[in-house]
Structure 1
Amino acid sequence: MYRDLTIGEKGKDVAQLQKGLRSLGWPTGADPSGTFGSGTAAAVRRMYAAMGYAAPLTASAVTPSANAASDAAGVGEGGEQPGSDIEMGRSSATPQPTEPESTVMLPVSEAVFVPSLPARVVSVPVQVGDTVKGPVITLARGDMTLTGFLDPSEQRLIRTGMKAEILAEATGVHTTATVDSVGAVVTPGSGADKTASDSSAVTPQNGSAYVPVKIKSSGRWDKKYADQDVRITITAAATSGAVTAVPEAAVSAGADARTTVTVVLTLNA
């Protein structure tokens, strides 16, 4: 917003405000689109009340109505003889100063018009009591995105459209998704990592090369996934029959380049 909005204001920004209020479930009454009237003021009051605050008020001067002035002036028009009563009637026709009336307002600093939804709060780098010297909130448009980091040696195993299991271990939230795209090998620090994904993506903490794999949700991502590190499991192949599985800890390589598998046998007495 570029200005405070209160009763009597007109413009496209008022129409944006009214549209936003209605989308949140607070109708603006009979106010025409783009005109801040009593209906819009009532909606603003309800919006602040829902957040637990009293709506901000602004003082606006109120001038006496023409009807009040006419009624007062009519006291001396009833054919009465000149006298103190007539003089008092005439003097009462003079507009008297009135106290400013408080009306609802929406301050410029307390609302942001977002061009499209969904949008989410990315950061709030200030706390109550801080001196404001820069942005107090950062918004991101669009839904959340999920990018996994795949070992380059496994790149050939992953294809677009494969199912993926997503687990946020910190919160226990679990869902299924699909592989949206598989990128090229990226080496951190080479400059390619800045163009391989958007600026909000992070890189592996170990600094090793990786293949970015973008995961697509079947709908919108659960808000509980926001800013969470998640485990992505993609099954490249499976069998319904019995197989022999060898734990990684059982495999070792000697100095002669020979690979050894340690087997533990259980003998029946």
Structure 2
Amino acid sequence: MGGTAVIALGAGIFAGTRITSPADAIARTAAPEASEVTVPVEARTLNSEVVTRGDVSAAGAVDVKPETGGLETPPIVTGQVPEVGAEIAEGAALLEIVGRPLIALAGELPMYRSLRPGMSGPDVAQLEVTLDRLGLDPGEVDDEYTLSTGNAVADLFERIGYEAPAPDPGAEAELDAANDAVEAAEDAVEDADDALDAGDSATGPDGAPVDTDALKDALDEAREQLADARTARDEAAAAAGTPLPASEVVFVPSLPRRVDEVHVRRGGQIDGAAMSVSGASLVVTANVDKADFELLAVDQPVSIELPTGEQVPGTITAIDEAEGEGASGWNVTVAPGELTPEQAEALRGQNVRITVPIESTEGDVLAVPLAALTAGPGGESRVEVMRDGVAELVEVEVGLTAQGYAEVTAVDGTLAAGDLVVVGDTGDDSDDGGDE
């Protein structure tokens, strides 16, 4: 009986530890007493920036289509085939067709006809501007293809190691005939002049001087014929000047350019585009919304992140409202700064991160999270500082806001780095009695 009583007593005590009254249960499950969440005031540099992404592309891709319709033989590629990635400079041969170069020049008008002395038009004007830019002397830069223009064209071909295009055979024959006519006219003037000299010294049977009026007229006529012959010779020489065959030049909007695709091979025949070339310079195009658009401007510097993580500088060159079906926002065009070949290749065709610095504090400033700012009854900004467990409201002037922080300067009270400011509390704040 005694043992049974001891066991019963022990069981009662254990059961008592497991029984909880309703009041105890409510007390244990109630929300903890509210307490403030604080963070320290920091001394840090703030940077406001626009961050977006953009697609990298080469400027102005175009197809190179040689004009081969005037060739007397099939347009067989005989050499100078470039590799993909090669850079094409102005005035260089980018291909060789039937032993003749295809020279790349910069210009908006295509090479739609062969040019030769005596022609005129906007394509001639474009050619002379180009020759002058390359340091070749086309004479007066106008829209007339002259002997000087032809000479400059000949110099262009000789500069890259090719013979100048041959003049028209008919024009050469006319020039030969004109040269013969000049020589004959010069001989006639010399004969007439000799006859006049002989007449001046001769006397008639009666000893009187011979009448030389007829001899003088003959000399004048011979001199006029020589002048006409020389004029005709000059015209023939101009007509027989160096021409520019349409098959030996291609104009593209700008140079230098990069070869993106090659559609021909040595020994093959050209049929359509020989290659596709794009601007050697890269551009990055991004799209931004209205909020970012209002912060951006042409000529702003940017930072472009390469796929490798390396940062390279760039500049905003254009900002245009997006157009087209479904388009929205604004398109921002960025030109990268000087790139190494490796950087350019790493960028080509990529989607990259662009950072545009907008504003920055000059060194470290006092900064608090935006959540620490509250508005007072008069609209003033303030922070709540915990000092020895007691909250103190400090009015502040807000400067730059960036990266989730705000620059603050105490207006009423003191504030220093390391002070703890309230950003929230851990309890139920549905009715905290505040005036925020």
Question: What's the TM-score, normalizing by structure 2?
Answer: 0.33
Richer in strand (by share): 2
Question: Which is bigger in relative contact order (C-alpha 8 A, separation at least 6)?
Answer: 2
